[in-house]
Structure 1
């Protein structure tokens, strides 16, 4: 565990954590979950430090913030399966423009494939479907995702 001067670690006690129903109730599992909670706490504080730097530099009110991970939790039924615990990945999107749903969550499914269309939408680039790809054949590039910005307004994508 590296040292970050602004980080005040929160250590979770393995014998006090509540386990999700799909994790076996063993000491080893409890220790792993407690370590995971400490990691998440460190991440949460790290996001706060980044937001503070954006604020101090005067860019918080003109920056689209997207945070995600490439997988779910590293526990049974997590990561590489289609159980809820396997497809649940963290994602935070914060826009200084979209205030309608500030501090709200959505149950809409999203994917990392949606990040590029979201950024293109943020920058007002709507003609991206006509852009040439960089592949050898020169075919048209197809993006598989869609913008997540509508989720910041009404909560559901169309």
Structure 2
């Protein structure tokens, strides 16, 4: 169910949580909020882009394979892309096992010009399907500087002394 966006409220561009107008940072994601007006404008841009996108793939289009898998999974993937306004085709893999015991794998192909949009869709779907949307990912890319006195664990965000080789909170090993 989609919620209506109200122009006078604030929204998190990551988790889409709604806040009063005076709040500036998302409590869950710890990122700056955007106004409802900005969110509405972004949604309108997305609708315009999708409406202007040709849903027919022509023989002249340059295609890239984006995912490979069994028929049912690739059809579900194509349905998700279609809901997002991205055309795709499924093509059979050239080599099958020949024994009759393995199913047919398909490649889902999209136009090269749609690649960035599909990557963004896949990132959102991954975060949603793995439950990562409920976690703070702000330290996920942290690099441990062994020269510093303190470090932040990229897995759990716990701050600890660099004299330790494992995170005291989650046990992630840095040796």
> Which TM-score tier does this pair reach, normalised by the shorter chain?
under 0.3
Give the strand-richer structure, 1 or 2: 2
Normalising by structure 2, what TM-score? Answer: 0.23
Structure of higher CA gyration radius: 2
Normalising by structure 1, what TM-score? Answer: 0.24
Give the helix-richer structure, 1 or 2: 1
